[in-house]
């Protein structure tokens, strides 16, 4: 397990995350069920709902979320790589690989750990929309509203947080800390990967 002395402070404890994820799952499931019904389909028919978690950070959130959603759904994992730029404004995101799933006519939910500049989800929404889905929604556990570089709002947000670098519950720094059961701020040395 990660060493506790690298943790500056716990921002969101485990029990608050669990309670919030349950609330989010209930709302999302209700909305998706209604969307499928509005198309004239039964939610039990299957293949109408595709959840698209962004690797790797969204795995913990997604794992908890889907187990609170009694719906027929499929998962399509996507990987987005960020490419560096000289300034924050010139940085961007690209999809690594191809979207394999046929999402035409389906209700898609993008899932990410955190909404920061907005580039990742903005890129994905564009790609998904170009494939003719019935709808595209997005859910994030955390939202750093102050950091947005492109206009993007998620439909479902767990917690709004201040502009601080956080780890845990799927979020990493240099590949570490994803397995912390809470969201925490790490000490500056850890952020630098020391
Ligand atoms: P965006 O494209 O919205 O700028 O970035 C979202 C991605 O940036 C997230 O999926 C996550 O990988 C990374 N990110 C943004 N803020 C943080 C943070 O505070 N901690 C960690 N570990 N990753 C972050
Ligand atoms: Mg990410």
Ligand 1 in reach of 114 Cβ (< 6 A): yes
Going by CA atoms, what residue is nearest to atom 9 of ligand 1?
Answer: 114
- Smallest CA-to-CA distance from 45 within 1, 107, 97, 126 is with 107
Is residue 6 scored above 90 in pLDDT? no
5: pLDDT confidence band, cut at 50, 70 and 90? confident
Q: How far is the CA of 41 from the centre of ligand 1 (A)?
A: 36
The predicted-structure confidence for 82-99, as pLDDT tens digits, reads as follows 777 666 555 677 888 778
Q: How far is the CA of 82 from the centre of ligand 2 (A)?
A: 9
pLDDT for 96 equals 83
Going by CA atoms, what residue is nearest to atom 8 of ligand 1?
Answer: 116
Ligand 1 in reach of 29 Cβ (< 6 A): no
pTM: 0.93
In eight-state DSSP terms, residue 182 is S
- Smallest CA-to-CA distance from 75 within 58, 87, 92 is with 58
The predicted-structure confidence for 53-85, as pLDDT tens digits, reads as follows 999 999 999 999 999 999 999 999 999 887 776
Q: What is the mean pLDDT of residues 110-116?
A: 98
Pocket probe mutation, ligand 1, options 169, 171, 191, max atoms within 8 Å of Cβ: 171
Helix (H, G, I), strand (E, B) or coil at 78: strand
SS (H, E, C) 120-169: HHHHHHHHHHCCCCCEEEEEEEEECHHHCCCCCCCCEEEEECCCCCEEEC
**Tokens standing for residue 159:** 């917690």
158: pLDDT confidence band, cut at 50, 70 and 90? very high
Distances (CA, A) of 81 to 54, 104, 166: 10, 24, 19
């Amino acid at each position: 397990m990660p060493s506790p002395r690298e943790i500056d402070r716990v921002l969101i404890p485990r029990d608050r995350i669990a309670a919030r994820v349950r609330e989010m799952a209930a709302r999302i499931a209700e909305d998706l069920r209604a969307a499928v019904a509005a198309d004239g389909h039964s939610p039990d028919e299957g293949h109408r709902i595709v959840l698209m978690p962004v690797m790797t950070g969204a795995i913990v959130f997604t794992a908890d979320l889907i187990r609170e959603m009694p719906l027929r759904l499929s998962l399509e994992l996507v990987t987005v790589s960020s490419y560096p730029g000289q300034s924050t404004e010139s940085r961007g995101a690209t999809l690594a690989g191809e979207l394999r799933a046929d999402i035409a006519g389906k209700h898609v939910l993008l899932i990410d750990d955190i909404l920061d500049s907005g580039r990742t989800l903005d890129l994905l929404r564009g790609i998904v929309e170009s494939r003719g889905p019935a709808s595209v929604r997005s859910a994030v556990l955390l939202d750093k509203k102050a950091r947005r570089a492109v206009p993007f709002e998620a439909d479902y947000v767990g917690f709004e947080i201040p502009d601080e670098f956080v780890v845990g519950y799927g979020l990493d720094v240099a590949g570490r800390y994803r397995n912390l059961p809470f969201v925490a701020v790490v000490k500056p040395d850890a952020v630098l990967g020391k």
